[in-house]
Amino acid sequence: GEDVEQSLFLSVREGDSSVINCTYTDSSSTYLYWYKQEPGAGLQLLTYIFSNMDMKQDQRLTVLLNKKDKHLSLRIADTQTGDSAIYFCAEKCTNAGKSTFGDGTTLTVKP
Amino acid sequence: NAGVTQTPKFQVLKTGQSMTLQCAQDMNHNSMYWYRQDPGMGLRLIYYSASEGTTDKGEVPNGYNVSRLNKREFSLRLESAAPSQTSVYFCASSEGGWAEQFFGPGTRLTVL
């Protein structure tokens, strides 16, 4: 079955770049997503990438996809304290009626 | 638009009690989902409904039942609550299985 893995914690200094990594197992993934969860709230979609793309940039966010290695990353440039949250990677596979989420990476930004 | 709403926000139950968590969405979405979130275990899918009239088991369905009452509403029932069901429960909806999921604010459930 599908499996999505992420490291649990990342700590960076304000102004640095953050890179959150994710690996997935299902080669039929069609969509890959990054969600953000702030304390006490539900998840919100940050960005997504189609499996036929290598990179997607959206303001401070850059998503890189390496299909061969089944590796997805989210880079946040100029990380701010407001970026402190849990970041979830998720994949949607062909013919699956649902997405599979990773366990989330807790990003802590220190001033 | 309210998006996805969940009630209640907080609940404390005793072991063996039953309750229903309510979820509604006003975005005319076809698909709805129930997840539980536990520390260190990420988000686990309990049940989902790809469209009105259908429901399917997710990763951790034992101890739960669901009802897709209509296109807007998807409820989760605990028939006999157990301490292992202490968790934060999130409802979500999406236009289809491929699309962005919109999450509710969550229900924090404690079973004593």
From residue A107, alpha-carbon distances to A85, B61, B85, B86 in Å are: 6, 30, 27, 25
pLDDT mean across residues, chain B: 93
Considering only the beta carbons, identify the residue of A30, A92, A98 that sits closest to B48: A98
pLDDT of residue A97: 67
Using CA atoms, how far apart are residues B25 and B69, in angstroms rounded to an integer?
A: 12
Average confidence (pLDDT) over B55-71:
94
Query: In this model, does residue A27 exceed pLDDT 90?
Result: no
Are residues A42 and B106, on separate chains, in Cβ contact within 8 Å?
Answer: yes
Is residue B110 within 8 Å of residue B12, measured between CB atoms?
yes
pLDDT-derived band of residue B97, with 50, 70 and 90 as boundaries?
A: low
B103 touches chain A (CB under 8 A): yes
A88 vs B contacts (CB less than 8 Å): 42-43
Distance from CA of A89 to the nearest CA of B (A): 11
Instruction: Give residue-wise pLDDT tens across range A35-85.
Output: 999 988 899 999 999 888 999 999 999 999 999 999 999 999 999 999 999
Instruction: Give residue-wise pLDDT tens across range B19-48.
Output: 999 999 999 999 999 999 997 778 899 999
Q: Which residue of B has its CA nearest to A40?
A: B105
B41 vs A contacts (CB less than 8 Å): 103
Are residues B41 and A103, on separate chains, in Cβ contact within 8 Å?
Answer: yes
A8 vs B contacts (CB less than 8 Å): 40
Average confidence (pLDDT) over B9-20:
96
From residue A32, alpha-carbon distances to A11, B10, B20, B71, B98 in Å are: 24, 32, 32, 26, 10
Place of tokens 């009690």: B17
**Percentage with pLDDT > 90 across chain B:** 80
Using CA atoms, how far apart are residues B66 and B6, in angstroms rounded to an integer?
A: 14
pLDDT mean across residues, chain A: 91
Could you tell me the strand order of the sheet in which A18-24 lies?
A4-6, A18-24, A71-76, A61-66, A55-58
pLDDT of residue B40: 72
- For residue A96, report the phi and psi dihedrals to the nearest 5 degrees: -90, 140
Using CA atoms, how far apart are residues A94 and A29, in angstroms rounded to an integer?
A: 6
